[in-house]
Amino acid sequence: MSAIDYILARSLPLVPKPIVRRVSRRYIAGDGLREAVVAVRELNGEGLMATLDVLGESVTDRSLVEAAAREYGEALRSIIEARLDSNLSVKPTQFGLKIDFDLCLEKVRGLVRLAREAGTFVRLDMEDSSCTSPTLDLYRRLRAEDLASVGVVLQAYMRRSLKDVKDLPEGANVRLCKGIYIEPPEIAYRDRALVNKNFVHLLEALFDRGFYVGIATHDEELVWEAYRIIERRKLLPASYEFQMLLGVAEPLRGRILRDGHRLRVYVPFGSHWYAYSLRRLKENPRIAGYILSSLFRGRLS
Ligand code: FDA
């Protein structure tokens, strides 16, 4: 982390809450499900798919696990009723991964079954490295129960990810991203060039195993690498998708769509937007940099 990044990240809590709100509005659909439905409908109208994320993570109280399961159930009902082209992304710690593995399994299983009945899908987001093995176990358990309507995430900065590709069950559905948490160098690559190189290796390894891949990046270099791999392997658009975060790299998003690829936008929403924004920003000072520079460039309205 550079000194400037460090200062930017630490000064964010001093930015008045309404300003954080205005800046993060671009990246978060709103406080409630209603706003999220409007955002997804708009994206669908532009030919983009979506994945809904009810903000919240690291739950330490069982009653909050119930609340998260309820909120996700409501989000799923809205997807069905409004006929949205969207699936769900969940953080296992929001479903109690850090309290009780079996409780988490039971709650995520319930949601995945409902999603399967509705013809949609649940992605298990990947959190910090303390969650990697339990999240992959959770995924394997659900797949072993023949629940194909569930997918997982691998992070290109993790040194273990290539081995994780080998250990995934047949027919896995994997989102590949760089990884957003700050991890020690013993377990994670820090150098951007190395992370990018590993991203490409992992993408090849995932396609080698015949998996469906969500290519989650806004990095043009990686998008063009992915194009090259897709073309060389003559992959059909139905065997992969690109994925991006709401409000990020919209011109590139349009370009990918026009080039004939499918693209899904990650749409976070919910009352925990402030804690979420600050945590994300502190975890990744580069993003703090984007936020503060947009502040100075006057892109707040
Ligand atoms: P990089 O960080 O190099 O960014 C490339 C360019 O994109 C930047 O130069 C900038 O212009 C722009 N950009 C990137 N992020 C931005 C932002 N937030 N705001 C404004 N501009 C931005 N991570 C994780 O650990 N677990 C997970 O489950 C997920 N899930 C996930 C889903 C989806 C759909 C996406 C797109 C990303 C994730 N991530 C994630 C986050 C991911 O690991 C990574 O931190 C970010 O995507 C940024 O990495 P890029 O590949 O975009 O490259």
Specify whether 145 is located in the same domain as 44: yes
How much distance in Å is there from the Cα of 143 to the middle of ligand 1? 27
Does 2 lie in the same domain as 57? no
- The domain in which residue 3 lies consists of 1-28+277-301
CA–CA dist 121, 272 (Å, integer): 23
Same-domain pairing of 174 and 289 = no
Question: Please, are residues 172 and 205 in contact by the beta-carbon 8 Å criterion?
Answer: no
On whether both 201 and 73 belong to a single domain, the answer is yes
As a whole number of angstroms, the distance between CA 36 and CA 53 comes to 9
Domain co-membership, 243 together with 301: no
Whichever domain contains 258, its CATH number is 3.20.20.220
The answer on 264 and 151 residing in a single domain is yes
Q: Please indicate, yes or no, whether residues 47 and 157 belong to a single structural domain of this protein.
A: yes
Reported for 193-196, long-range contacts at CB under 8 A and 24+ positions apart, including other chains, are 195/156, 195/157, 196/156, 196/221, 196/222, 196/225
**Does one domain contain both 138 and 198?**
yes
> What does 157-179 look like in DSSP terms, one character per residue?
TBTTHHHHHHHSPTT-EEEEE--
Please tell me whether residues 2 and 82 are part of one structural domain.
no
125 lines ligand 1 (CB under 6 A): yes
SS3 breakdown of the chain: % helix, strand, coil, rounded to 5?
55, 15, 30
Ligand 1 pocket residue status of 245, Cβ below 6 Å? yes
Do 295 and 233 share a structural domain?
no
Q: What is the pLDDT of residue 294?
A: 54
**Residue with the two structure tokens 């709100």:** 21
Overall domain count for the chain:
2
Helix (H, G, I), strand (E, B) or coil at 200: helix
User: Which is nearest to 66 in space by CA: 48, 119, 118, 74?
Assistant: 74
Q: pLDDT in tens for each of the 301 residues of the chain?
A: 556 556 656 666 777 777 777 777 788 999 899 999 999 999 999 999 999 999 987 788 999 999 999 999 999 999 999 999 999 999 999 999 999 999 999 999 999 999 999 999 999 999 999 999 999 999 999 999 978 899 999 999 999 999 999 999 999 999 999 999 989 999 999 999 999 999 999 999 999 999 999 999 999 999 999 999 999 999 999 999 999 999 899 999 999 999 999 999 999 999 888 776 776 666 566 666 665 555 555 443 3
* Rounded-to-integer distance, Cα 195 and Cα 66, Å: 37
Q: Are residues 233 and 256 in the same domain?
A: yes
pTM: 0.92
Domain match, 3 and 114 both: no
* Ligand 1 pocket member 285 (CB < 6 A): no
